Amino acid sequence: MAAALAFALAPACVAAQTPLDERILEIREQSRFMPDKALEQLQKLQPELTAAPSYTRAEFLSQLSATRMRLGQNDVALDTAEQVIALGKSLHDTAIIAKGMLAKTYVLFAQAEVDAAHRLAFEAEKLALTTQDYPLKIQATVTAGQTHAEQGNFPAALVKLQRAVDMARPPAGDPVSLVAALNALAKLYVQMKEYENASETLDELLNETEKLKSPGRMAIAKNTEYGLAIDSGQPKRALRALMQSLDLERKMGAERMVGITLVNLADNYLKDHDYPRAVQYAQESLRSTERTNDDSTAATARINLGQAYIGMGRVAEGKKQYELGLKRYEQENNKPDLQMALIEYGEVLERAGDLAGAISAYHRERAISNELFERRRQQAVLELQEKYEAEKKQRQIEMLSHENQVKGAEIDNRRLQQRVWWLLALVFALAAAVVGLLYRKVRHTNAQLEVKNLELKAQSTLDPLTSLYNRRHFQEFMRSLGPQNRHDDIVGALFLLDVDHFKHINDNYGHAAGDAVLKMIAENLRIALRETDMIVRWGGEEFLAFLPAIPRNGVDEIARRILTTISSQSLRYQEHDISVNVSVGFSPFPLVPGGEPLPWERAVNLVDMALYLAKAHGRNRAYGVRGFENFHLTSMEAIEQDLERAWRSGFVDLSVVLGGDPGTHPTTPTEHTNVVSIKHAAQTKGGH
């Protein structure tokens, strides 16, 4: 986790001024790896603090807070951090205040008070950057960068961590600071799937760490090497790095680090489907984290244990462990890690045959994906708005400058009028010319302003990647749509699409390939549908289409057309042919259960549930809600709670459109045999 890791890797201070400072620095390094022994050493130093300088006392208290936190004594650690802040305020020393705020940040994170920890991390960075303490500046910048990464804001995180590395280089920085910053930057590159940059940073990290002659620092670097190797498809290198790290940690007696490495070993064997070995290492990690009170590592160990149990067929035990781990992720508000864990959870449950559990996991992951997507979209709009405002202010400054020049010219003209009357006509002519120029400039500026307003409006309406409408525009359009009075044979229709196995495309070919796939699907949807149909980038790898008027008996045919149009194409990307399928949920619009039309939001939700039925029942197919039966015996709430159960009980009329194999071409009208009505089958099953 970002805040905890930043503290664990916090750089050492500038060269110590007294023997007491030197001993505190030695203990600080020991605290990272063996906090129990470090606490004993710190307690022995406490009597010497009475006559120590204020900064030495602040450093001592900061290390005492960190050590208590690593031992799971968070209440005492928080109180000690508050003492550092109070000391800094009493001395009006911003460096000591920032040091205390960072110490408090890490304790708040250990207590899963993530929002408060994030806010304090950014405040501490602002304060630290006003000081002359370079190691403190680097520590605060690394913490802020990792906090951005934890929030899913990778561009901001990259800027911070690159800045921290630059600050840590000679002559201003020091070797320990540089190793800490490089380690954080390498981990970020791995998260961003930029493996080439991660590899270059790791090479420098290993080289600089070797110079420190610190087994603990080398163990940390080896764990980072593992993360890069496992994510970039180098399993042998990953296992070798883990074993080297575990050997170093056990020789040092660094129990907290042992727990983390055991988790990574469990994950490594999960990827090889060696479930018994994965269970062994996950259980060893749990025993280790119980001794160190490391709740975050324990959560990851439980997720690995749950995945191994499910892989062995012990589904109930596995789900219990998985949910315990996810609960901690939710407490930490760690959206990126929680999203990845839920994707894996859904896939594991689907392979185990627990389709209801898989659909639930997919829905939870989709909610987080939509939240992160919306946050990134809002950030893009804000950045555009800020750019526009900056340009507007610059134009205003230029206009004011011109106005001042005009005023100065007018004053000079008045003086000239008093001296030479025969130049009056010339002065008037010059003034008229200046006014004319200003008038034309104002007209030009207004035209530019109009263009910028149009650009901003387009940005708020269109998705920047696919140039399709975005979710916000669709929502505003549907709110403005009046009551839909449809004839029996003419209806509207809603189609919601999700790219099948999109994560595998990103993992195997990179995010640039994923973006190219999304663009290709957008183009294919424009081909498959009409110009009058609204096509929307709904979020992430989801698309939505709203067709305002089509024959009722043609809804299934359009679903089939979407499936075959997309699956019949392949994308050529860097010597690879990438075939793509989608799963689709659809329905006519409006839907009228019991004689009362559903609001569009509930209709989209029902189509979303049909989409996940298509996902759970094999992908590359479309599930459509045709209508409702025996509605007086049920309710809309019951149907929305479990669409599949409602269908099997005979309350919902579904149809299934099966997609073709990738690479095939659309069938002719006489070959349309892949649309299946399942209303009567559902009623028969419901009677069992």
95, 118 in Cβ contact below 8 A?
Answer: no
Structure tokens at 615: 């996902």
CATH superfamily of 1-163: Tetratricopeptide repeat domain (1.25.40.10)
**pLDDT band at 86; cut points 50, 70, 90:** very high
pLDDT for 413:
62
514 vs 508: CA distance, rounded Å: 10
136, 107 in Cβ contact below 8 A?
Answer: no
Average pLDDT over residues 37-46: 88
Buried b (16+ CB within 10 A) or exposed e, 327-354: ebbbebebbbbbbbbbbbbbbbbbebeb
Of the candidates 76, 104, 74, 42, which has an alpha carbon nearest to the alpha carbon of residue 293? 74
Structure tokens at 148: 């951005």
pLDDT(576) > 80: yes
238, 195 in Cβ contact below 8 A?
Answer: no
Of the candidates 257, 250, 247, 259, which has an alpha carbon nearest to the alpha carbon of residue 298? 259
Average pLDDT over residues 634-647: 88
Of the candidates 135, 139, 157, which has an alpha carbon nearest to the alpha carbon of residue 148? 157
2, 147 in Cβ contact below 8 A?
Answer: yes
pLDDT(9) > 50: no
Q: What is the pLDDT of residues 610-633, one digit of tens each?
A: 999 999 888 899 999 988 888 888
Q: What is the pLDDT of residues 424-458, one digit of tens each?
A: 566 566 656 665 666 566 566 555 656 555 555 55
Cβ of 673: how many Cβ atoms within 10 Å?
A: 8
Query: Residue 649: CB partners within 8 Å, gap ≥ 6?
Result: 634, 682, 686
For 343, half-sphere exposure in the C-beta direction (CA atoms, 13 angstrom radius) is: 15
For 376, half-sphere exposure in the C-beta direction (CA atoms, 13 angstrom radius) is: 19
pLDDT for 484:
61
522, 566 in Cβ contact below 8 A?
Answer: no
DSSP per-residue letters across 153-168: -HHHHHHHHHHHHHHH
For 228, half-sphere exposure in the C-beta direction (CA atoms, 13 angstrom radius) is: 26
**pLDDT band at 279; cut points 50, 70, 90:** very high
285 vs 291: CA distance, rounded Å: 10
Torsion angle defined by CA atoms of residues 211, 216, 218 and 221, in that order, rounded to the nearest 10 degrees: -130
Residue in this structure with the two tokens 């505003």, named with its chain if needed: 476
**Domain regions of the chain by residue span:** 1-163, 375-461, 469-686
The torsion angles phi and psi of 542, rounded to 5 degrees, stand at -105, 140
Q: Which range among 1-5, 43-47, 503-507, 544-548 shows the weakest confidence by mean pLDDT?
A: 1-5
Average pLDDT across the chain, whole number: 82
Query: Residue 247: CB partners within 8 Å, gap ≥ 6?
Result: none
Q: What is the pLDDT of residues 332-348, one digit of tens each?
A: 776 767 877 888 888 88
Structure tokens at 631: 């509605």
pLDDT for 679:
44
DSSP state of 12: P
The torsion angles phi and psi of 620, rounded to 5 degrees, stand at 50, 45
Most confident of 112-116, 210-214, 294-298, 404-408: 210-214
pLDDT for 444:
62
pLDDT(270) > 70: yes
pLDDT for 395:
65
Residue type (1 letter), 596? E
The CATH architecture assigned to 469-686 reads 2-Layer Sandwich (3.30)
Of the candidates 584, 589, 519, which has an alpha carbon nearest to the alpha carbon of residue 558? 584
Structure tokens at 664: 């095939």
The pLDDT > 70 percentage for the chain reads: 79
Q: What is the pLDDT of residues 181-238, one digit of tens each?
A: 999 999 999 998 899 999 999 999 999 999 988 898 999 999 899 989 988 888 889 8
Q: What is the pLDDT of residues 289-327, one digit of tens each?
A: 888 888 888 999 999 999 999 999 999 998 999 899 888
